[in-house]
Structure 1
Amino acid sequence: MKVFHRKISIPAYVIFIVLLLGILEIGYAMWGQQDMAQGTETVKAAEAEPLVNEVKKVVWWHSMSGENGRIVDKLVTNFNESHKDIKVEAVFQGSYFDSLTKLKASMGTKLGPTMVQVYDIGTRYMIDSKAITPIQTFVDRDKYDISQMDEAIINYYRVENKLYSMPFNTSNPILYYNKDLFKSAGLNPDKPPVLYADITQAATKLTKEGVTGAYFGTYSWYMEQFVANQGAEMVNQGNGRDGLATAWQLNGEEGVKALTWWKGLVDSQVAIHSAGKSDGSKKAFTEGKVAMIFDTTAALRDILNSVDGKFEVGTGFFPKSSEASNGGVVVSGASNWIMNSKSDAEQQAAWTFMKYLSEPEQQAFFHVNTGYFPITQKAYELPIVQENMKQFPQFKTAIDQHNAAKLNKATQGGVLGVYPEARKLTENAIGQALSGQLSPQEALDAAALDINAKIEAYNQTVD
């Protein structure tokens, strides 16, 4: 049987196309493998090397309003312009109390700030919250020199020999008085009264023809300063610095003496008693209706602007009893804290910003535009501060008063976990005493009883 073979003829162009497709397929395969290899190396490199130009955002919660808030915004703007790798976003959160309340609500969430300004009386709570990174950590890591800073200010925020927060705005209460009214009453306008008896004598002479001698806002802060100015501690356990405080002590001899004197002014109708704090007194003072008030040195710039030359504003030390010899005013104001819920890089950026705020140039700028006094000694050497002192000598009063205070546990200030609550109860007691509902001793004893119960409950939660 014969087998026939048929010869098949394939056109040349078909063979060419097949060969071309094969070559292309091999090329694509080789190129894909190379690209994958390069892509893998790129990913590995990206994982290994952080972005050098990444901008770290720092959210700063603060309580500076009005003109002080505008000065804070200026500081932030200047910092951002000079630090391209960090962007600080300043967010006003209302009063100190409101801000701390919001902070408590944000703990345990991602909604909180990187750093927060907390008033002095929030110190114990912030430490016990375990939500912060102590500033001492950054100080030790950078070998940051804190000897440049005011010792008394640093000491307030240092507990058990550890610096927990960085001071920012520092103040103390001073006496503001109307020099023109002093002259017309036959008083020396260049010699402000210092002792309780001197205040009483001046207020009596100044009260006439629609003018009241004094108006002191019902503020616990003043009672605390009265006690410290006599060298007494606000709470036990070394003012809460040798251990958790267990007893509120404003109902002691020093507190009763101060409140009894205050009530005497009101009963004699040479001082105004009004429910509320110092806002009403400041308005009455700038309008020339009262001759003497207490207020924070941080209000100095605002008071000078409000008076606007209508009369000459005098400033003097916060008053004390004639028996006082070992006391002084306590550092007040606020400090900045770093929250430990943020990344190490973000915390480090916040620390960089804190150091910037502490520089002499920034502190000098903040001082002359607000009234808060500098936390760094070198700020006083700068021309802007020296020129401001010459033009407005009133700024020097708070600084001299601060430097005159004895350095002891009384003037270092008390730390207490329920400090804001204690202040509210003390203010109620002041009102009850000044209005005659209770005697000064009875009112302060009742407040101490309630405060001590709150202290005990707080200490149990900490334990």
Structure 2
Amino acid sequence: MKKRKVLGLCLVIMMIFLSACNVNMGGGTESKKPEGTQSGGQAAGGKTKVIFWHAMGGANTKVVDQMVANYNASQDKVEVEAIFQGSYDDLLSKLKTSMGSNEGPAVVQMYEIGSRFMIDSGTVTPMQTFIDQDHWDVSQLEPNIAGYYTFDGKLYSMPFNTSNPILYYNKNLFKDAGLDPEKPPTTFEELKEAANIISKKGKAVGANFAIYGWFMEQFFANQGADYVNNGNGRDSMATESLVNSEAGVKVLTWWKDLIDTGAANNLGRKTDDSKKAFAAEQVAMILDSTAALKGIVDTNSGKFEVGTAPLPKPADAKEGGVIVGGASLWMMNDRSEEVQKAAWDFIKYLTSPKEQAYWHINTGYFPITIKAYEEESVKENLVKFPQFKTAIDQLHNTKLNTATRGAVMGVFPEARQIVEGAIEEVLNNKKSPQDALDAATKEITSKIQQYNKTVK
């Protein structure tokens, strides 16, 4: 791809992505001016320098730094420097600014919904290139995780932090309402019934779901339904949104009915507000990421017992499952062969069972490597947090198809916000589910087609 084309694409997509800066999922939101931003070269002692940009804020920054320190101490040929770049959106903006210069990273963490842009930018070396050269065994990766980042038979990026959504519920409130705390709802219908019973008891509202586009995407996949056309954008580039299909209308009709009947309440878009209401025992059920599990259990320890259940779906849903969320590691192709090979060595190290066990235990994200579950530390952690078995089972029970591999489109961050706006319109009685999703589909489709013109 010519440099003019790459820069033209970056300018257009930057305008799109900068208008979508409230993505609700991923790393921390704090930002700092990066230091040592040279993307690669020679470090002290003749080592090859690898710059790694990431968006893991808060406590996760320390975990990333420790893994990098572990790697640097494990060998004497490569020195990796990890630089926190703020939120996922902050990181993406900085990456676009760095393209075409020598100020960018050799390896960058990018959230899953940025995958289409990364491929279309023409600035990455597919991870499959190094896998083939090294005869690296891809089967050691969780297939349902690697599946998301595989396009046209190539693994383009290495999975890094991975999660999916589950239902969290207050077992004490279930008991108080006369419900079996060991039999949580698994369908839309069962959840509505349980939420109604709990709400009528008056101690708490039955449920609360943050208005988060990621949840809508997951509800589609759990019904075996594609989110965009052309095989969810995987057979060929997506040209149309399918958010106004039967699957989407069914979700919003159910969601609005929960609100209208008092079985659930609406606290807005922030998942943190859902967690706070759950911790205060104001609501009995919430949806959140599996990566939040340790925090939710620890926060409420001593107050009530936290239960977990799979993401609910309609009783008549087709075979589906969940899509992995989170981010992966991408190799930038404007670095020297020496730097790219050094970066690949670092990435391989991160996938080792020992490092994946450390990552999982200290962050709550899934291990991407199957053998990490054989580590004693992971087994002990599962005993301490048995709720995580729900997440593991849900991941492993998901059958890979176009729906569960997840949609790909170049305007995903903006599409997610458009859907959140549609959900708000429905829950606030401004539009019917069909009308709101029809308008969202039209707007998203227009954005997709505008984007596609920039990469032809």
TM-score, normalised relative to structure 2: 0.88
Contact 2:46 2:77 in 1 (8 A): yes
> How many angstroms apart in 1 are the aligned matches of 2:433 and 2:54?
36
> How many angstroms apart in 2 are the aligned matches of 1:101 and 1:57?
23
Summarize the alignment of residues 272-421 of structure 1 with structure 2, pairs less than 5 Å apart.
272-421=265-414
**Structure 1 unaligned regions, length at least 5:** 1-49
Structure 1 window deviating more from structure 2 (424-433 vs 265-274): it is 265-274
What is the aligned partner in structure 2 of residue 443 from structure 1?
436
1:252 paired with 2:266, answer no
What's the offset of the Cα at 1:70?
2.0
What is the aligned partner in structure 2 of residue 69 from structure 1?
61
Counterpart of 1:305, as a letter, is D
What is the aligned partner in structure 1 of residue 180 from structure 2?
188
> How many angstroms apart in 1 are the aligned matches of 2:109 and 2:221?
25
What is the aligned partner in structure 2 of residue 206 from structure 1?
198
Counterpart of 2:308, as a letter, is T
Secondary structure in 2 matching 1:436:
coil
1:113 paired with 2:105, answer yes
What is the aligned partner in structure 2 of residue 144 from structure 1?
136
Question: CA offsets, 1:177-216, max 9 Å, x none?
Answer: 1111111111111111110011111111222445211110
Question: CA offsets, 1:252-297, max 9 Å, x none?
Answer: 0011001110011111122121222311101111222211100000
Of 256, 260, 280 in structure 2, the residue corresponding to residue 263 of structure 1 is 256
> How many angstroms apart in 1 are the aligned matches of 2:149 and 2:259?
36
Task: Give the aligned CA root-mean-square deviation in angstroms.
Answer: 1.5
Contact 1:62 1:90 in 2 (8 A): yes
Of 58, 78, 84 in structure 2, the residue corresponding to residue 86 of structure 1 is 78
What is the aligned partner in structure 1 of residue 6 from structure 2?
none
What's the offset of the Cα at 1:398?
0.9
Secondary structure in 1 matching 2:347:
helix
Contact 1:300 1:370 in 2 (8 A): no
What's the offset of the Cα at 1:330?
1.0
Q: Which runs of 4+ in 1 moved over 3 A?
A: 50-53
What's the offset of the Cα at 1:435?
0.6
> How many angstroms apart in 1 are the aligned matches of 2:88 and 2:155?
21
Q: Which has the larger radius of gyration?
A: 1
> How many angstroms apart in 1 are the aligned matches of 2:43 and 2:276?
54
What is the aligned partner in structure 2 of residue 169 from structure 1?
161
Of 141, 145, 155 in structure 2, the residue corresponding to residue 153 of structure 1 is 145
What's the offset of the Cα at 1:83?
2.4
Question: CA offsets, 1:274-330, max 9 Å, x none?
Answer: 222311101111222211100000011111222232111111100100111311111
> How many angstroms apart in 1 are the aligned matches of 2:139 and 2:385?
28
> How many angstroms apart in 1 are the aligned matches of 2:264 and 2:372?
38
> How many angstroms apart in 2 are the aligned matches of 1:408 and 1:394?
27
1:97 paired with 2:89, answer yes
What is the aligned partner in structure 2 of residue 36 from structure 1?
none
> How many angstroms apart in 1 are the aligned matches of 2:184 and 2:361?
23
> How many angstroms apart in 2 are the aligned matches of 1:181 and 1:72?
37
What's the offset of the Cα at 1:445?
0.8
> How many angstroms apart in 1 are the aligned matches of 2:269 and 2:43?
54
> How many angstroms apart in 2 are the aligned matches of 1:101 and 1:142?
32
- Cα distance change of structure 1 residues 431 and 52 upon mapping to structure 2, 3 Å threshold: closer
- Cα distance change of structure 1 residues 334 and 254 upon mapping to structure 2, 3 Å threshold: same
Counterpart of 2:124, as a letter, is I
Identity %: 55
> How many angstroms apart in 2 are the aligned matches of 1:203 and 1:122?
36
1:430 paired with 2:423, answer yes
> How many angstroms apart in 2 are the aligned matches of 1:352 and 1:115?
12
> How many angstroms apart in 1 are the aligned matches of 2:186 and 2:74?
46
> How many angstroms apart in 2 are the aligned matches of 1:82 and 1:67?
23
> How many angstroms apart in 1 are the aligned matches of 2:61 and 2:440?
35
